[in-house]
Chains A and B, each alone.
Chain A
Amino acid sequence: MSVNSIVTTELVKIFVAYFLTIIVPPAIVFGEKLKKRDLPYSFRLMAYLLIGNGFVINLVLYLTLAHICSKATLVIFGFGFYIFMALFLYEVKIRDILHNIRYTVEKLGGGFLGRKTFRAHLRAHIQNGAKRLFSGTIGVVIHNPLEVLGFIGTIGLVLYIFVSNDYWNLGYTASDLPVHNYWINALGENKPFVAGVYPMGYHSVIFFLHMVFGIDTYVLLCHWEVVTIVLLVSSIMAFVGYVCGKHTGLSFGAACLFVMPTFVYTNVYSRFEMGIPQEYAHVFILPSLMFLLEFFVRRREKEEGRLVPSTLCWMLFSAGLSLTISIHFYGTVVLLIFCIGVGVAHLPLVFRKRYFFSLMKSGLLALLIAILPMGISLLMGNEFQGSMNWALGVIEGTTSSTTGNSGNGIIADLTDDDYTDDLEYYAFLEKNGMLDESMQSAYEDVQVAAGKAPSKNESQNIKELVVSKVNFVVSSLYDSIKEHLYCGSEENAWLIYAGMIVAALVCLIGIIGWFLPWNFARAYLSMGIGVILLWVILASKNLGIPSLMDTNRTKTFLITFYGIIVMFGLDFLLRGILFFVKKRWIHIGASMVLCAAMVLGFYAGGWIQSPLVLEANETNGAILSLKGIIKENKDFTYTIISANDENQMVADHGYHYELSTFLKKLHLFQGGAFSDAYSNIENTDDGDIFIPSSKVYIFIEKVPIDYGTSYVNSGQSISEEGAKQPIPVTEGKNIYSGENRWICMSKMYYWAKAYQELIGEDMRVYYEDDEFVCYEITQNINSNYNFAIDYGYNDCGEGEVTLDD
């Protein structure tokens, strides 16, 4: 089976599994009810997404906390909940169902109901059910062919740009995925917060799909970014479609503008290629905002004879908010930033008692739903996971985002100086009388830049001061965009200003609309404020204010929403031009033409980016070997010796032996000559290496990858020179980073060659390409090979090696 077929099969399996467990059950149970509450199709889909995810996450967390999580309980409770909800919502009594069944059986048994008639009834029931289930989707497809085509085209473009990498680089594209894999595997052992309390929503969803459908966790993690990006783009389209109404073409424009431009740094998109929690939380921001905006649009609905704010909307907003908390706090931060925008756009309505309390209830409910499992775990004695303290520190400003890590020891790539540091430095010098004249001028500049001191000319002209401040802010925003997002030519740098003007205009329209009954304008204003706030966070260093999020993360959020703002500008333009046109199809057609023109313009300008490429942390050979090994062997009959990552990937199927431990034991090996001394047969730590499984696979990179960091000779092949080097004496995974990896792989390769000569047919090459080789050793499970030999490079030099490293 070719690599393409394998990847395609895996992607199809993942999407089918996600659709069947996350979307379909809420659609069956809640679809009719939501339809009756006048929620359009796109709204309903977003609602299913929120409900499905929310339920699955909480189900997994509570079952694991109760230590009863298994495939059986997940399926039973999963289906049980939806069946219960269906019975409850549609007021069906179990007694009636049982009665009907008994009645039918009696009729069948008594001959009053023929088998053919019974079969016909059954068939009709199934057909009606299927019709009802899919009528919405089929209706949408039939009645909106242009939109459907646009949707398919947009998703096709998105898949082309983001999914191609899945076929080229099969492994994990983020270095912290092995950690997430470990946490997900721990859920299988009913340990929900194995490394400390951390938002486990993302892990729970993946775990659920793994358990119920049997898709390997590593496969889900390798392709999760496809799920994320498709859902994210769908949510963008749904949101823009909601705000822009008949101008549905703009939805596709917003999605295209998000994924297409070549004048945006590709590293902005790299997080979307990783399939990590923050991006999955990102998916739920726009659906939540949709329900929040709808909450204000609906004002008051008649519920149980009373006019009250839409309970449905605030509850679904609450679901979205809780999901962002459950999955990644940065999603919550960004959602709350946009909530500020929504709040400003709906002043003073937001402070009216009934709306305010509804929103408070919504927030508290979201917090309760999301925090409760974590709180239970904290009460059970668990502590916060390391990166949680770091993230909270960044938000509080007590930790620098430049030195933080996300739980796996990866150092962020930000090393810029910031004004705060400079200020502290100069203030320290001044306090201690060490500030000389040459430094005085620089200190004043820094103070001005950080807004801590008035400029020299302030007293001279207040007007100039305002102008300079505005200039400073505008230039800071411009600079930050140029530094972090825009990578086009200087000639086209006007695009940055154009973007700023569009954002300002959208806000202006929103402000005007604030005085008018324009709901769309309030949405404009909400998003405009949100985007500007994000922008400010991105430029926080230039502006001299504390950073709420690091720039790497901020820019991934900003790029998603920026296209929406541009589309809002175009939406207003179309609303103006087509103000007197009532025909719906003209609005749709015009927006589609506009979108098509934009795409064509991008195409003509060569601004549509090629598929994104992100190197994986494992070679394709390693992943293909892993897949083959899992398929060909019975579970837990084999061991993989490799450099760490496969440890968690194979955890459900086989054993793993750390390559570094293997090399260190080889170093301790003392053998080769007959000895009169009796052997210590109760302890193999004196250098003998026995791996008790019938098959042992050894993963060796012939061209070691740059794991975490590159070094001077990155990309060099393993060699005798590498094997001669001492075993790196370092901690944790650093033994596999940079040059260390080259040394380890070189040593392992020469060991494999030497051992193959010794045992002959029992050791064969399982897989080999230019970059990777996998050896397979077959041995007696009850009389294992001793892998410790003198292969010529056992000695590790002067460094002291212990097995505890």
Chain B
Amino acid sequence: MISKKNFFTISVMMITVFFLFMVTGGAKIVLSNYGTNEYYPSGLTVKDTSLTSDVSAQNGMLYLGDSKEVYDRLEEWCVYNKRSLFEIPHGFAYGESGVDFSMLVIDGATLLEEDIPYILSCEKEGITILFATVPSCDFLKAHTEIAELMGIRTIQNEATTLVGMRLYEGFLLGGEAVYEAGEDTPSYYEDLNLRVPWFILESASKVYMSGYLNKAYKDADASYTPPIIWRYNTKNTYVYVVNNDFMEELSALGIYTAVESSRDEISVYPIINSQNMVLYNFPTITNENSTEMMELYSRDTINFIETLVWPSMTAASSANKLIPSFMISSKLDYSNNLSPSEEVLSYLMELVRENHGEAGLSLKGYSDVDGSKKLETDLDAFRSELSEYNFYSCYIGDLSVEDALEDLAENKEEDVNLLISDYSAKENLIRAKDDVIAISPTTDSQYYSYKKDFTLKSVETALGYSLFGQEMDNLIYPKTEENHLQNFAEDYSGTLHTLYEDYEAFDATSVTEAGNRIRTYLNLQYESELSVEKDKLTIKTNIIGEEQYFIVKTAGKQIQSMSEGQFYELEDGVYLITTTAAETVIDIGEKTNSWWSYFR
């Protein structure tokens, strides 16, 4: 029998607890301010990103070859790094160009005999040479001076099929990587070109990436394995060789940067410092394809999104310390007459805010619908709940930037200044047009592959930037079992973790913030000066007040201090520098042990 006194006490406690829960829940909704976008674009403007062709500019790049892919990627790199690029025809005589350049990039596959004198002249003059592709073995045998220039002692096999490749630490950011499939490895992992010529290199050649031989060569000394990327010193200059098709793709960006920075003992270059996770057409707020969802997950589509998909995706983002950006859509199939749910939108936007995410628009839906009409439908659905929400970003799929801007203008969405398009080899990763930035993903599906990994390492090295864009339509309209959530989530989170675990030191950003950093990066002009005697590195920039990011490679030394900003050691001898000042002085010194280590 409970006494009155106890009954009273228990009642008061229960009311208090109930009240406290109510208050916190209510406060969260009121204070979260989910109806507004917490990210704002910066005031910096970028007019365009066309290539400079100033012949007086120093450190220009020279291209010799016929491959358009190689040229395009080199051009893209030159755009980002504000370098001049010149293309010379075959048989060009040394000294005719009259330009000052620091590196000769050669498409070895299209090399002609008449180019050899020019290349040898460059070598004598101490100009760095990069063979973006290797000449054929017949060419090398016929022209041994080119083989010797490339540091090739012997051609062991003209075409060897490798079982994998190994990227060594210190060349690209992200450390060592082994690209060798095991027995249980899915077949789609192996997308690297594994058939390459096998060269034995001269002494003192530095190999950055090499191939794995099959079991037939198990007795071969590890140091003789087929080199993929290497450097050879001819005593006059460094010659870099890429024995694969990496220079025709996005992966070329990082290789150019790595080559540039490996030439000097201490090197510095700017980066964007932005890691992004973008989900296209997610969340949707219409209960479509519910019958199939009920069959598969015993719940309708909205319930499926709220209770299964959302936790999976946010868990993946938080586990990898990424900020999710959601390109929201009112529905996927615009041919049906189902109405979007405002209530669901309200709830999901609360969750977006809780995750410090950002919402953007989408011009590309699951069904074949005109971008402008889709946007109109979406904005109608969002109007009541998100009347004060400023959308700054938009997913445009394979639409051209011009068409996308037109669609946005039709719907009076002039605030949008960051477009996310699908990846296209024909276009640069980052473009600027009329103050609008268009970016492409560095990774665009949940399936991990070696090439994706290598490409990401390369882009991270060059730009400190990545964007993992993911189509979410197939979850609601699954075509195969692979589209079922349990399979998708496993692939997605696994890929995300494998790719990004080495880059946690870079900042996770929402897409608008990424746009801001890209604007700063594209506007940035800098000079660096190294005082050898005092080991002081001075970086002068044209931007004040905005955060700028640089990678400083110190070749084993360590940064002791810096005058403005912060530094963080990404890897041994590789530092991420953050500064807002126009001039930053960095003290670099030898690594020292703490005094107490001698007492151990």
Partner of B233, one of A9, A683, A760: A760
Best-surrounded residue of B224, B235, B265, B597 (most CB of chain A within 10 A)? B224
- Asked if residues B223 and A789 are in contact (CB atoms below 8 Å), the reply is no
Output the least CB separation between B482 and chain A (Å): 35
- Asked if residues A690 and B223 are in contact (CB atoms below 8 Å), the reply is yes
Q: Is B207 located at the chain interface by the 8 A CB criterion?
A: yes
Best-surrounded residue of A684, A780, A782, A786 (most CB of chain B within 10 A)? A780
**10 closest cross-chain pairs (CB), A and B:** A758-B204, A786-B203, A783-B207, A681-B224, A674-B144, A761-B555, A681-B220, A674-B147, A679-B200, A758-B233
- Asked if residues B206 and A785 are in contact (CB atoms below 8 Å), the reply is yes
**CA–CA, A682 and B223, complex, Å:** 10
**CA–CA, A688 and B140, complex, Å:** 23
Q: Is B598 located at the chain interface by the 8 A CB criterion?
A: yes
Q: Is B188 located at the chain interface by the 8 A CB criterion?
A: no
- Asked if residues B556 and A778 are in contact (CB atoms below 8 Å), the reply is yes
Chain B residues 189-237 with CB under 8 Å of chain A are: 200-207, 210, 217, 219-225, 227, 233, 235
Q: Is B152 located at the chain interface by the 8 A CB criterion?
A: yes
A1-B595, A6-B598, A785-B203 known, 10 other contacts, Cβ within 8 Å: A1-B593, A5-B595, A9-B598, A9-B599, A674-B144, A682-B220, A779-B206, A780-B168, A782-B210, A786-B223
B-side residues, CB < 8 A to A, are 140-141, 144, 147-148, 152-156, 166, 168-170, 200-207, 210, 217, 219-225, 227, 233, 235, 238, 262, 264-265, 555-556, 591, 593, 595, 597-600
Report A-chain residues with C-beta under 8 Å of the C-beta of B235.
Answer: 757-758
- Asked if residues B593 and A632 are in contact (CB atoms below 8 Å), the reply is yes
Report B-chain residues with C-beta under 8 Å of the C-beta of A684.
Answer: 221, 223
Report A-chain residues with C-beta under 8 Å of the C-beta of B233.
Answer: 757-760
- Asked if residues B219 and A682 are in contact (CB atoms below 8 Å), the reply is yes
- Asked if residues B203 and A761 are in contact (CB atoms below 8 Å), the reply is no
A676-B154, A679-B153, A761-B555 given as contacts; is B207 within 8 A of A1 (CB)?
A: no
- Asked if residues B156 and A679 are in contact (CB atoms below 8 Å), the reply is yes
13 examples of A-B residue contacts, CB within 8 angstroms: A628-B593, A671-B153, A672-B202, A675-B153, A678-B154, A682-B219, A682-B221, A690-B221, A692-B223, A761-B555, A785-B205, A785-B206, A786-B201
Total contacting residues, chain A, CB less than 8 A: 45
Best-surrounded residue of B152, B169, B202, B262 (most CB of chain A within 10 A)? B202
Output the least CB separation between B211 and chain A (Å): 11
**CA–CA, A676 and B597, complex, Å:** 53
A679-B153, A679-B156, A679-B224 given as contacts; is B203 within 8 A of A789 (CB)?
A: yes
Q: Is A604 located at the chain interface by the 8 A CB criterion?
A: no
Report A-chain residues with C-beta under 8 Å of the C-beta of B144.
Answer: 673-674
- Asked if residues A764 and B556 are in contact (CB atoms below 8 Å), the reply is yes
Report A-chain residues with C-beta under 8 Å of the C-beta of B156.
Answer: 678-679, 681
Q: Is A787 located at the chain interface by the 8 A CB criterion?
A: yes
A-side residues, CB < 8 A to B, are 1, 5-6, 9, 13, 214, 628, 631-632, 669, 671-679, 681-684, 688, 690, 692, 755, 757-762, 764, 778-780, 782-789
**CA–CA, A35 and B359, complex, Å:** 87
Report A-chain residues with C-beta under 8 Å of the C-beta of B210.
Answer: 782-783
Report A-chain residues with C-beta under 8 Å of the C-beta of B600.
Answer: 214
**CA–CA, A677 and B156, complex, Å:** 8
- Asked if residues A783 and B222 are in contact (CB atoms below 8 Å), the reply is yes
**CA–CA, A769 and B233, complex, Å:** 29
Summed over the interface, the residue pairs from A and B with CB atoms below 8 Å come to a total of 118
Q: Which residue of A lies closest to B263 (CB)?
A: A760
Output the least CB separation between A71 and chain B (Å): 15
- Asked if residues B598 and A782 are in contact (CB atoms below 8 Å), the reply is no
Report B-chain residues with C-beta under 8 Å of the C-beta of A759.
Answer: 204, 206, 233
Report A-chain residues with C-beta under 8 Å of the C-beta of B147.
Answer: 674
Report A-chain residues with C-beta under 8 Å of the C-beta of B556.
Answer: 761, 764, 778
A674-B153, A681-B217, A761-B265 given as contacts; is B597 within 8 A of A780 (CB)?
A: no
**CA–CA, A444 and B481, complex, Å:** 116
Partner of A780, one of B207, B262, B555: B207
- Asked if residues A674 and B154 are in contact (CB atoms below 8 Å), the reply is yes
Best-surrounded residue of A674, A779, A788 (most CB of chain B within 10 A)? A674
- Asked if residues B206 and A631 are in contact (CB atoms below 8 Å), the reply is no
Report A-chain residues with C-beta under 8 Å of the C-beta of B597.
Answer: 631
Best-surrounded residue of A9, A761, A778 (most CB of chain B within 10 A)? A761
Partner of A681, one of B168, B200, B204, B262: B200
- Asked if residues B598 and A1 are in contact (CB atoms below 8 Å), the reply is yes
Output the least CB separation between B294 and chain A (Å): 53
Output the least CB separation between B233 and chain A (Å): 4
Output the least CB separation between A242 and chain B (Å): 38
Report B-chain residues with C-beta under 8 Å of the C-beta of A682.
Answer: 219-221
**CA–CA, A108 and B321, complex, Å:** 50
Output the least CB separation between A679 and chain B (Å): 4
- Asked if residues A688 and B203 are in contact (CB atoms below 8 Å), the reply is yes
- Asked if residues A671 and B224 are in contact (CB atoms below 8 Å), the reply is no
**CA–CA, A690 and B222, complex, Å:** 10
**CA–CA, A692 and B141, complex, Å:** 31
- Asked if residues A675 and B595 are in contact (CB atoms below 8 Å), the reply is no
- Asked if residues B593 and A783 are in contact (CB atoms below 8 Å), the reply is no
**CA–CA, A682 and B144, complex, Å:** 25
Best-surrounded residue of A671, A762, A784 (most CB of chain B within 10 A)? A762
A1-B595, A757-B235, A761-B265 given as contacts; is B204 within 8 A of A785 (CB)?
A: yes
Partner of A784, one of B223, B227, B598: B223
Report B-chain residues with C-beta under 8 Å of the C-beta of A1.
Answer: 593, 595, 598
Best-surrounded residue of B147, B204, B207, B597 (most CB of chain A within 10 A)? B204
Output the least CB separation between B120 and chain A (Å): 14
Report A-chain residues with C-beta under 8 Å of the C-beta of B170.
Answer: 780
- Asked if residues A780 and B169 are in contact (CB atoms below 8 Å), the reply is yes
Output the least CB separation between B214 and chain A (Å): 14
**CA–CA, A9 and B262, complex, Å:** 40
**CA–CA, A785 and B153, complex, Å:** 14
Q: Which residue of B lies closest to A13 (CB)?
A: B599
**CA–CA, A778 and B238, complex, Å:** 18
- Asked if residues A631 and B593 are in contact (CB atoms below 8 Å), the reply is yes
- Asked if residues A762 and B206 are in contact (CB atoms below 8 Å), the reply is yes
- Asked if residues A761 and B262 are in contact (CB atoms below 8 Å), the reply is yes
Q: Which residue of B lies closest to A673 (CB)?
A: B148
**CA–CA, A9 and B154, complex, Å:** 54
Best-surrounded residue of A5, A778, A786 (most CB of chain B within 10 A)? A786
**CA–CA, A764 and B557, complex, Å:** 11
**CA–CA, A785 and B600, complex, Å:** 33
**CA–CA, A87 and B555, complex, Å:** 60
Output the least CB separation between A222 and chain B (Å): 15
- Asked if residues A671 and B203 are in contact (CB atoms below 8 Å), the reply is yes
**CA–CA, A780 and B167, complex, Å:** 10
Q: Which residue of A lies closest to B572 (CB)?
A: A778
Report A-chain residues with C-beta under 8 Å of the C-beta of B217.
Answer: 681
Output the least CB separation between A672 and chain B (Å): 7
Best-surrounded residue of A214, A690, A782 (most CB of chain B within 10 A)? A782
**CA–CA, A760 and B169, complex, Å:** 17
Report B-chain residues with C-beta under 8 Å of the C-beta of A676.
Answer: 141, 154-155
**CA–CA, A22 and B153, complex, Å:** 61
**CA–CA, A713 and B9, complex, Å:** 102
**CA–CA, A672 and B202, complex, Å:** 7
